[in-house]
Structure 1
């Protein structure tokens, strides 16, 4: 039975967390004491050092919960507009959240965007900045995936084929005027879903797809992540990365790739950078530099919050995308049907990459253009952003100032073209009607 060597990993993790709880309680008490305005030591270097040490201990031993999107408003044409999150579609392993902007009066049509968040460890809130950038001028929806440890076994399996089914179902809900944005991991299931929809002439196929830093063909400019998957093979991942959810979580006994293992891998890739960042935070706290410390808190509150993935989804993704390269080889299947990217004809394509991306190397996402030769030339765009890594492809100042406007222009131009086509068709129909009447 796979996962046997890891069968107690989750239990050990839970046990260690419980064992540290008394020390965390003592640390919290000391931090409160040395941050108390009534304590004279609070204002001394010694007091600030003790308080900083306690906070750092608390943060490095904490279990981080799912963050909130926390986007209560946006600004449209200089006017602040309230935003309400609404769930418009839901299944056991994910839901579709709509950011409903409370615009008064008649709404001018704006691009409808389905933002497909990665199911690769972090929550969809990792794309908070992406959502925020598009809210002023777009109708934004996002996939909010569920932590697998919270899904009971009775809800069944969830693998890569199910992910593709979820994407298709969401597109059926939103309709054919939707623009899909896939960030990193979902680039493969999104393009596969669209290929299947196109092959079946599905009227709900989206107007465009934007793939951002995604592993379409990991044979191009392979990164350390890609090389690891290729070298180890699927059996190594099955034996070393899969364990069972312990009691009393709702997903008790479900086989998963646990979030704490994923986080360990994330941290190990750039361990020196994370150690330096925490040491810098310690120095900021001792100096009383609250603004710099708060930026550190905000980043790591998001970065350290991770979710479990179902074993079947994780293993099928590793094998299909990183080991077998099934999509670029043309051998990928969805259920019992081929994923033929040559079937994609109507859906426009934009790809975005970061020059310094160490997760999805340069060229891996651009490969989609070669694999979809039947998309017209005027409906395809590739953009390489200089000076950004993987995270900078979908967040940060350069994303807001250089990448997001290009994606928005791509969507708007397609909507304008579609509107013109409808007007021209209406004029033609009217003329034909007059001819018949005459």
Structure 2
């Protein structure tokens, strides 16, 4: 019932977006004569409709800037399942690299935590300067038919393990962000325990490896209620006409509601910036913050089984940290990882993954030599700074690039 009500509200917002743009550009409105008003109005409609869109948002990275030269980017789909698309990005180099300078490969494990993978646009664009990039682009569960079966936390781990095998773990580096740090570490540990090749490096960025350490409001909330409470209050059934009608999910609109205060602030900053650009006659350019906000609004529904598994395993039982986590009957043993360098990065102002939660991986991965372990705490970074904006580009990305260069 709640899902259907929200769908009705989305339809109303979409209709209101058309009307508000028409009012802004009405010949009776003086705003219509401001230079750049048409561009501003179209961008405002785009922002409003992002909340009502049901399509899988595209990365749309056509080119990157390399020393002042626009270098085309090639994107293709290389593997897929009903629940995930593995996308490959590569910048077309002006000169072929010598074989001894083979381009390093990075698998970016996007978090399955309510946002589409496009939230990591900055990450992909930065990595493309020197890397071939693969990204796990998780599917909105509302579009997955019930006939495709269930999707659990175990399935997330198995997907990442399969992608590592398909790409070839030998020359590969894995970068996992936020919630994805747990299944990514689990996937690499399973490979190590089975005697299979593991990635050259594993970078874990702002994730709840051990949510007992400095628990945040999210962790405290998850541990304060029973799993039955979450099932009763936060799980809903996808309505028609979506392909996933009948599937039980934790809806994307729950994520938007939980982060509403952050959005209001971002919207105000964005509105202020855009008005200044219009007044300066620079309305034709699309501010980077507009794209960032569009990406932030690109939310997805989580399969209920996966969502409840994560709450139970990561935030209530702390199974990875306690050494009690089994994936499809096999114990996850991070201590079996020996041939993979480990880099953990935290934000000193992170209020989603508390300080120490990601660095806890070093205690679990005691089979990795001390010289192959690094930990970084960016003192002035909040959670989103870790993978977007100036802090990512100037503080975080260079540390990741150092590791991929060193371990080739």
Q: TM-score, normalization: structure 1?
A: 0.84
Contact 1:27 1:58 survives alignment (8 Å): no
Partner in structure 2 of residue 190 of structure 1: 184
Contact 1:123 1:306 survives alignment (8 Å): yes
2:170 corresponds to 1:179 = no
Q: TM-score, normalization: structure 2?
A: 0.89
1:93-135 Cα distance to aligned partner (Å, 9 max, x none):
1111111222343453122110111111111111110111111
Aligned match for 2:64, one of 68, 71, 74: 74
User: Any unmatched runs of 5+ in structure 1?
Assistant: 1-7, 416-438
Identify which range, 102-111 or 174-183, moves more after superposition. 102-111
Partner in structure 2 of residue 15 of structure 1: 8
2:84 corresponds to 1:90 = no
| Alpha-carbon distance in 2 for matches of 1:233, 1:290 | 52
Aligned match for 2:202, one of 194, 209, 215: 209
Contact 1:215 1:360 survives alignment (8 Å): yes
| Alpha-carbon distance in 2 for matches of 1:53, 1:75 | 28
Aligned match for 1:161, one of 135, 147, 154: 154
Contact 1:56 1:282 survives alignment (8 Å): no
Partner in structure 2 of residue 418 of structure 1: none
| Matched pairs, number | 401
| Alpha-carbon distance in 2 for matches of 1:264, 1:131 | 27
Contact 2:11 2:52 survives alignment (8 Å): no
Residue 29 (structure 1) shift: 2.1
Q: Secondary structure at the match of 1:240?
A: helix
2:96 corresponds to 1:105 = yes
Residue 381 (structure 1) shift: 0.5
| Alpha-carbon distance in 1 for matches of 2:404, 2:41 | 49
Q: Secondary structure at the match of 1:365?
A: coil
Aligned match for 2:232, one of 239, 243, 249: 239
| Alpha-carbon distance in 2 for matches of 1:390, 1:73 | 27
Residue 178 (structure 1) shift: 0.6
2:123 corresponds to 1:130 = yes
Distance 1:9 1:350, change over 3 A: same
2:134 corresponds to 1:141 = yes
| Alpha-carbon distance in 2 for matches of 1:275, 1:407 | 31
Q: Secondary structure at the match of 1:137?
A: coil
| Alpha-carbon distance in 2 for matches of 1:122, 1:261 | 11
| Alpha-carbon distance in 2 for matches of 1:19, 1:40 | 26
| Alpha-carbon distance in 2 for matches of 1:106, 1:288 | 44
2:109 corresponds to 1:116 = yes
1:138-175 Cα distance to aligned partner (Å, 9 max, x none):
11111111111111111111111000110010011111
Residue 33 (structure 1) shift: 1.4
Distance 1:348 1:311, change over 3 A: same
Residue 388 (structure 1) shift: 0.9
Instruction: State how 1:215-254 maps to structure 2 within 5 Å.
Output: 215-254=208-247
Distance 1:278 1:109, change over 3 A: closer
Aligned match for 1:273, one of 247, 261, 265: 265
Contact 1:355 1:386 survives alignment (8 Å): yes
Instruction: State how 1:388-407 maps to structure 2 within 5 Å.
Output: 388-407=381-400
| Alpha-carbon distance in 2 for matches of 1:288, 1:75 | 25
Identify which range, 259-268 or 372-381, moves more after superposition. 259-268
User: Any unmatched runs of 5+ in structure 2?
Assistant: none
Residue 273 (structure 1) shift: 2.7
Q: Secondary structure at the match of 2:366?
A: coil
Contact 1:215 1:365 survives alignment (8 Å): yes
Partner in structure 2 of residue 378 of structure 1: 371
Aligned match for 2:327, one of 319, 326, 334: 334
Give the root-mean-square deviation of aligned CA atoms: 2.9
Contact 2:14 2:52 survives alignment (8 Å): no
| Alpha-carbon distance in 1 for matches of 2:48, 2:82 | 31
Aligned match for 1:32, one of 25, 29, 50: 25
| Alpha-carbon distance in 1 for matches of 2:282, 2:311 | 42
Partner in structure 2 of residue 300 of structure 1: 293
Residue 233 (structure 1) shift: 2.9
Aligned match for 2:313, one of 320, 341, 350: 320
| Alpha-carbon distance in 2 for matches of 1:281, 1:274 | 11
Q: Secondary structure at the match of 1:33?
A: coil
| Alpha-carbon distance in 1 for matches of 2:343, 2:288 | 32
Residue 277 (structure 1) shift: 3.6
Higher helix share: 1
| Alpha-carbon distance in 1 for matches of 2:274, 2:187 | 47
